[in-house]
Amino acid sequence: MRLCFLILLASVALAEEPAKDDLSELYSKLGAVSPKVVKAGFTILHVEFDRLAPGGEYTLKRQLSAQNKYKLVGVGSQGITDLTLRLIDSKGKVEANDPRPDSVAIVNLVPKISGMFTIKLGARRITGNQPYFFCLIASKPK
């Protein structure tokens, strides 16, 4: 009985791990995006890798300064064909979003005021089960 339980537990844990192809694809995309962001004069503040369930949304909070320009980049793996990216201010107003229907979402902005912002990533279209994405946040002085 114990052996069967351990094998079942191990197989469940393996099912939660991302497929190597998904991660390899995202690391490759990050490797292509980040040098361009740095070359444009931005400092990368944060990179977040996670996954989206169909119909789900990922939320990240970040303090942003009105003294800086920001570039937010979200990139999805093959299963995400329409990644959405919204930046919401502390009053719940959408400050910026990416309207393009593809697996890359980019927002460039200078906040009107400094404060805590919410970054929301979602997907209008997902094929497969919980595809992975990364979100890159970068800034530079105005």
Q: Output the tens digit of pLDDT for each of the chain's 142 residues.
A: 433 433 333 333 444 555 557 778 888 999 999 999 999 999 999 999 988 887 788 999 999 999 999 999 999 988 888 899 999 999 999 999 998 888 899 999 999 999 999 999 998 888 877 788 989 999 999 8
Tokens of residue 107, six digits = 């927002």
Tokens of residue 74, six digits = 């979200």
pTM of the model: 0.81
Which residues are bridge partners to 51 per DSSP? 132
Does domain 19-141 correspond to CATH entry 2.60.120.380? yes
Tokens of residue 128, six digits = 């497969």
Tokens of residue 132, six digits = 């992975």
| DSSP annotation of 26 | H
Q: 80 with 131: CB under 8 angstroms?
A: yes
